[in-house]
Amino acid sequence: MRIYKFGGASVKDAEGVRNLARVLQATGTDKTFLVVSAMGKMTNAMEAVVDAYFDEKDAVTAALESVEAFHLEILRELFPSESHPVYLKLKALFNEVRGFLAWNKSPKYAFVYDQVVGYGELLSTLIISEYLNQEGIANSLLDIRRYIKTDANYRDVSVDWKKTQEAISGLAGSRELYVTQGFLGSDENNFTTTLGREGSDYTAAIIAYCLNAESVTIWKDVPGVLNADPRYFKETRLLNRISYREAIELAFYGATVIHPKTLQPLQRKEIPLHVKSFIKPSDPGTQVGKGMAIEPRTPCFILKKDQVLMKLSSLDFSFIVEDNISEIFKLLHDYKMKVDLIQNSAISFSVCFDNRFGRLPELLQHLKGKYRVKHQEGVSLYTIRHFDTRAIESILNGGDVLLEQRGKETVQYVIKS
């Protein structure tokens, strides 16, 4: 089986859906599993519904209506006859969400989030499956929640691989074209769960793993995996081939193309991953596979903006050793800081991190009793893999380097931006 994943950007409007059908017509539909995200920015829009439900109940109706209007506009373009059954099915899904919000008694944000936000995917797959059928591309719409089983740690679940494997393997050997939702699963009580933002790639990998798929293709609005994010870097190059290991390293340093969680199941079964352009589906894109040397061998740049650099030193000139470091790490963990880089010397410890949940003031407060603390917010962390002098020069370019860390393949700079 081949697993195809189409993200929100690829189906952000009616033309995106038509294009998806064209990609399938060009590449064939035999033994293909289509995993689709919510359309465009609909996950954010559904998150706004949940936020309204908790913070401003009066705003829920309007927030849901705007999601409905967005989908209805796409329906009208794709299905000119309003008597097409898709209209009623769409309505039924909205009635379900409204019903849930009306009857729900749970005060738990994460639980409500998972029950509501996943409708983005349920809506997109309904529309896509119906459209493909209308275009003569026969397919079956699967509810992935029946197959991907998870724990009940809402918004950040772990997959129950055994149950998932059992459920999905029933689909093996089929020649049908399946259309299903990314991002979703269900717990023991059959409540909807979500795999974390950007989780649809992971869905594709889970299905691939359980079906021993021949490949996974992630269709994107870029030509493949690039050596730098075109939003921040002028000259970018397409990487034709990279290893799983390289892809995991790039993701670790902050490249957002492929999530490491997605790579792990693929790597374990050595299932090739293709990242291709849905605009030019016949272009080769990037292939990720076992032991593939990076080609072309070119420096890869990763930029993480808006980081915090914090330097701690002991108040009494004593060494910063294991017990201090473990205490510091525990605090970083407790305040949910995402650590990007550390460096220590005898009496100081520097750490660059992402203040994701805005809890920096609490952390500083906590540390100040024990250490001399200096910190700088809004710094940028540049990582260059496979660096050379030219690549380094292009980054430094007169910037104020606050910290440097160099390994054999990777160099990192914290720069005051």
- Return residues touching ligand ASP (CB under 6 A): 7-8, 37-38, 43, 120, 182-183, 197-200
* Distance in Å, CB of 144 to ligand ASP, minimum: 12
Least separation in angstroms between residue 204's CB and ligand ASP is 9
9 vs 325, which CB is nearer to ligand ASP?
9
Chain mean position to CA 365:
33
Which residue's CB is nearer to ligand ASP, number 217 or number 383? 217
Nearest to 356 by CA among 381, 380, 339: 339
Least distance between ligand ASP and beta carbon 82 (Å): 28
Q: Is the Cβ of residue 35 or residue 415 nearer to ligand ASP in the bound state?
A: 35
Considering beta carbons, is residue 120 or 223 the nearer one to ligand ASP?
A: 120
Residue closest to 172 by CA, chosen among 129, 205, 204, 213: 213
Cβ at position 398, least distance to ligand ASP in Å: 37
CB of 8 to ligand ASP, least distance (A): 5
Would you say 263 or 310 has its CB closer to ligand ASP? 263
Measured from the CB atom, is 43 or 193 closer to ligand ASP?
43
Decide the pairing of beta strands 215-220 and 192-194: unpaired
- CA atoms of 293 and 105, how far apart (whole Å): 54
Q: Which residues contact 302 (CB under 8 A, 6 or more apart)?
A: 228, 229, 250, 253, 254, 255, 382, 383, 384, 385
State the minimum distance, in angstroms, from the CB of residue 113 to ligand ASP: 12
Q: What residue type is assigned to position 278 of the chain?
A: F
Residue 210 to residues 85, 159, 218, 250, 263: CA-CA distances in angstroms? 33, 12, 18, 26, 14
To the nearest whole angstrom, how small is the minimum distance from the Cβ of residue 371 to ligand ASP?
Answer: 37
User: Closest CB to ligand ASP among 20 and 341?
Assistant: 20
* Min dist. Cβ of residue 5 to ligand ASP (A): 8
CB 243 within 8 A of CB 311: no
Q: What residue type is 353 in one-letter code?
A: F
Q: What is the DSSP letter of 130?
A: H
The Cα 91–Cα 376 span in angstroms is: 51
Of 37 and 355, nearer to ligand ASP (C-beta) is 37
Q: Are 255 and 300 in contact (CB under 8 A)?
A: yes
Return d(Cα 181, Cα 357) in angstroms, integer.
29
| Distance of closest approach, residue 415 Cβ to ligand ASP, in angstroms | 29
Category of 406 on φ-ψ map: left (φ > 0), alpha (ψ -120 to 50) or beta: beta
Q: Count of CB atoms within 10 A of residue 249's CB?
A: 19
Q: How many CA atoms lie within 13 A of 269 on its CB side?
A: 17
Q: Which is nearer to ligand ASP, 121 or 415 (CB)?
A: 121
Contact at 8 Å (CB) between 384 and 391?
Answer: yes
Rounded to 5 degrees, φ, ψ at 283 are -70, 145
